[in-house]
Amino acid sequence: MLKEERHKLILNELDATGLFDLKAFSRAYEMSEMTLYRDLQYLETTGKLIRISGGAKLLPIDSCVVCHKQPQSKRQRITLHLISGVEKKLVVLIVHSYI
């Protein structure tokens, strides 16, 4: 099975149940747990899910894809996460509409 197909199956499982059980999925689809583990790692780096012990869960819509924290108020925050102490420049355009 291609990587993209596995990713779609994983995300469909998460959409249906809210949780992904790595061992159960591995048995049901006869896939290597290590392959699925690597798929979960990739999907976490793209902000699609949060890995937890034994599987994964959906990432809340308004949470940070790096630290998974949710904003404490309605005001939007931008946090620049430094990777290995290397400073990155970031240019962001944000448009807010309040109802």
CB proximity list for 78: less than 8 A, separation 6 or greater: 90, 92, 94
Distance between CA atoms of residues 91 and 99, nearest Å = 26
> 49 with 13: CB under 8 angstroms?
no
CATH number of the domain encompassing residue 53: 1.10.10
| pTM metric for this prediction | 0.63
30 domain-assigned: yes
Question: What single-letter DSSP state applies at residue 28?
Answer: H
Tally of structural domains, the chain:
1
47 domain-assigned: yes
Distance between CA atoms of residues 68 and 52, nearest Å = 12
13 domain-assigned: yes
Tens digit of each residue's pLDDT (9 = 90 or more) over 39-94: 999 998 888 888 999 999 987 666 665 565 665 655 555 555 555 555 555 444 44
9 domain-assigned: yes
Can you give the pLDDT at residue 82?
56
80 domain-assigned: no
94 domain-assigned: no
Residue 18's pLDDT band, with cuts at 50, 70 and 90, is: confident
Main-chain dihedrals φ then ψ at residue 12, nearest 5 degrees: -65, -40
